[in-house]
Amino acid sequence: MLGLAMESEEGPGCFLDVKAFPHFSELLSASEGYARHSGCRFRKGSFSNLPEGDTVLEDRDAAKARAAPAVKEFMEKVEGQTDQALCCELNEAFNILWSESMRSAMVARCQQLDLWPPNPPPEGIDNADCDCSKDTSSIVAMAQRLYNQAQKRDASYTRLLSTASFLADFAYEAGLPTPQFFLTRDPVTEKFETMADEYERTLISPPNNRKRTWWLPWNMTLGLGI
């Protein structure tokens, strides 16, 4: 997953967004110190063979010890899949990560095509226009809206992604299957990729030169898929 963390409005050094997943708030609050050491990753094995008794614990083990009771309680609930509220919030965590993976794929393609941001910018799109799904007729317009969205991201959103990643790890360690939608791509991304391929072809072979470019040496390389 993501393993990200930044400061937030809830206080310096907060790694997990407790308010975003209220039914997991007890687990997330107890796991804040553990998340700090793990980079917002969760591993069930981290809580095996913890020191007991009056042993003086190092910071990492002390953080695990503080989280252990909540981890045990919530692991049993998630493994049993009897709490629908928890199941819904885990599904939401996966949805956040799925949406982010779609966005990241489109951003990477924009950067590859030198559209990050488009220069010159398309007309009629102001800085507050961030929804690339509302107009999928132009890859340049979609790239500009993706760029606008990126400029508005802040620490609180990064923390939300970190928390979703932490909970997705938790679900995996509890043995829950990955939601089917996580293995698919949304229609907007599919349309974007098609337009990106078309745009890339125009860069390699402009329409007014296509009948005369068969001899260019890099065509052989492209044809071989290298």
DSSP code per residue over 85-98: HHHHHHHHHHHHHH
Q: Which residue has the tokens 């800085």?
A: 127
84-112 and 59-80 helices cross at what angle (nearest 10)?
110
| Domain residue ranges in the chain | 22-205
Token pair for 114: 């030198």
Residue 205: pLDDT over 70:
no
Q: What is the pLDDT of residue 214?
A: 35
Predicted confidence (pLDDT) per residue in 105-159, tens digit: 999 999 999 999 999 999 999 999 999 988 889 999 999 999 999 999 998 999 9
Whole-number Å distance between alpha carbons of 45 and 173? 9
Q: Which residues pair with 8 in a beta bridge?
A: 11
Token pair for 15: 């790694």
Higher pLDDT, 203 or 172: 172
Q: What is the pLDDT of residue 198?
A: 94
Q: What residues have CB less than 8 Å from 48, skipping those under 6 apart?
A: none
Predicted confidence (pLDDT) per residue in 62-121, tens digit: 999 999 999 999 999 999 988 999 999 999 999 999 999 999 999 999 999 999 999 999
Instruction: Reduce the DSSP state of residue 31 to 3 states and report it.
Output: coil
